[in-house]
Amino acid sequence: MITDNHPFKINEAGHLEAGGVDLVNLAETYGTPLYVYDVSIIRDNCRQFIQTFKELGVQAQVAYASKAFSAIAMLQVVNQEGMSLDVVSKGELYTALQADVPVNKIHLHGNNKSLEELTMAIDHDIGCIVVDNFYEIDLIERILHDKHKTIHVLMRVTPGIESNTHQYIMTGNEDSKFGFNLSNGQADQAFLRLRRNSRIHVKGLHSHIGSQLFESDGPLLAAQLLFQKLDYWHTEYGFIPDVLNLGGGFGIRYTAEDEPLSYPAFVKELVSAVQQHAAAIEIPTPEIWIEPGRAIAGNAGLTLYTVGAMKTVPGVRHYISVDGGMTDNLRPALYQAAYEGVLANKASLPNVQTVSVAGKCCESGDILIWNLPLPAVEPNDILAVFSTGAYGYSMANHYNRFAKPAVVFAENGKSQEVVRRETYEDVVKNDRSYE
């Protein structure tokens, strides 16, 4: 249902709209499945984070975690809004360079960065490499030595906190594939090794404890543990960090049950905790960096589908099948993610039934929404599924040889295709016949 505070509105024709553009018209023009973003929502999400830091008078970088949705047009928009950028692979770095994101605002992440990826990052003088493990230090030292270069790094550490749905558990053994263990001596060992190398400037620490967080208690607990370590390094080695990076994971609303903390409230809590900790150990407040991905792209995007076959299992369930599924939105199949939607062409009609929305892949698990209240549904209705802007297109795949959908940006009553729909020539373009 479209409530007053819903990010998308209903127009006079009773159709759903995005960026002032009628979504039923968009479906006709560009076909379905179709990802549509309201660009003003992307901008507003960026501004909520950046403005809050500005108002608090705190030095900060808000880096968009581009894995949520990486495409040239998207990176251009977040760059216009003053965001920095996180990339985790050569492909994401390449996309950032193609979008002309200033290299000093790019940060490279990853638990298995290859020699090639690190070389590319160092050759392009990107702003910061978030060092994850000892093998990576070996590779970096080799490249810097050969090229006579210097770099800035953050150290990714695992503070031993896991987000367990909406709660946090402290884990003694810190079983994570990411980062240096804060309590077993590995973080200290890595710190000393990085500091010994005059080509490497250690800017500070990084921690990212999980995604879809609704409260600040997890990151706040992480900050406390990071400052314990910083206190020790300050006392022992005179280390003063330039930066503390508290990661991403800011939750968004997928369904009516989700009640995330507002971004300004989240940022205020983080900032005041960091200021207090820094004062307590008598160091200047470091720059605070955060890395929202989902919170920037998620609620700005939706997916349009055309309804096709319908099937009723008497007394059990009404299925409606759509022309996409786990190929364009893997999250329901991957981790039982829940979504809501409406019929874009019947957006103002009352709901009269509950249906299950099935994708068209050959998997019983390809169900996009298990229980969705809708008006009377007919074939060729246009279903809009909300909050698909993050980890939707970026996880799209070619299962069953589906072609990837197009992406359209809508803003101020205008629309533009920013990723073209794949053709079947695209789908077979890497195939070679066997002679």
- Site residues for ligand PLP, 205-234, by CB under 6 A, read 208, 211
Is 14 annotated as a binding-site member? no
Catalytic residue among 46, 128, 361, 362: 362
From residue 309 to residue 348, the character string flagging contacts with ligand PLP as x (rule: CB under 6 A) and all else as - is ----------------------------------------
- The CB-of-346 to ligand PLP minimum distance in angstroms stands at 32
> Who contacts 123 (Cβ-Cβ below 8 Å, separation ≥6)?
147
Is 331 annotated as a binding-site member? yes
**Which stretch, 113-121, 168-176, 241-249, 370-378, contacts ligand PLP (CB under 6 A)?**
241-249
- The CB-of-117 to ligand PLP minimum distance in angstroms stands at 15
d(CA 403, CA 415): 22
3-state secondary structure of 395: helix
**Which stretch, 16-24, 90-98, 243-251, 307-315, contacts ligand PLP (CB under 6 A)?**
243-251
361 token code pair? 């892949």
Is 195 annotated as a binding-site member? no
- The CB-of-215 to ligand PLP minimum distance in angstroms stands at 14
136 token code pair? 């990576």
Q: Is 109 in the site for ligand PLP (CB under 6 A)?
A: yes
117, 291, 323, 381: residue in contact with ligand PLP (rule CB under 6 A) = 291
From residue 381 to residue 400, the character string flagging contacts with ligand PLP as x (rule: CB under 6 A) and all else as - is ---------x----------
**Which stretch, 3-11, 289-297, 339-347, 360-368, contacts ligand PLP (CB under 6 A)?**
289-297
Strands 406-411 and 414-419, bridge-based pairing: antiparallel
Establish whether 361 is a catalytic residue: no
Is 305 annotated as a binding-site member? no
> How many Å from the N-terminal Cα to the C-terminal Cα in the chain?
56
Is 293 annotated as a binding-site member? yes
Distances (CA, A) of 414 to 18, 25, 80, 216, 296: 10, 12, 19, 37, 21
Is 391 annotated as a binding-site member? yes
d(CA 135, CA 152): 17
d(CA 415, CA 18): 9
Q: Is 113 in the site for ligand PLP (CB under 6 A)?
A: no
Indicate the residue among 207 and 415 with the shorter CB distance to ligand PLP: 207
Asked if 5 contacts 375 with a C-beta cutoff of 8 angstroms, the reply is no
Strands 128-131 and 151-158, bridge-based pairing: parallel
Q: What is the DSSP letter of 171?
A: -
Tell me the Ramachandran region of residue 19: left when phi exceeds 0, alpha when psi lies from -120 to 50, beta otherwise: left
68, 205, 230, 377: residue in contact with ligand PLP (rule CB under 6 A) = 68
Asked if 20 contacts 41 with a C-beta cutoff of 8 angstroms, the reply is no
Closest residue to ligand PLP, judged by C-beta, is 293
d(CA 421, CA 399): 16
- The CB-of-42 to ligand PLP minimum distance in angstroms stands at 14
Strands 16-18 and 21-22, bridge-based pairing: antiparallel
d(CA 102, CA 116): 21
Q: How many CA atoms lie within 13 A of 206 on its CB side?
A: 29
16, 60, 65, 342: residue in contact with ligand PLP (rule CB under 6 A) = 65
From residue 138 to residue 177, the character string flagging contacts with ligand PLP as x (rule: CB under 6 A) and all else as - is ----------------------------------------
3-state secondary structure of 303: strand
- The CB-of-237 to ligand PLP minimum distance in angstroms stands at 26
Q: Is 110 in the site for ligand PLP (CB under 6 A)?
A: no
Which positions lie near ligand PLP, rule CB under 6 A?
65, 67-68, 86, 109, 208, 211, 247-250, 291-295, 390
Catalytic residues: 362
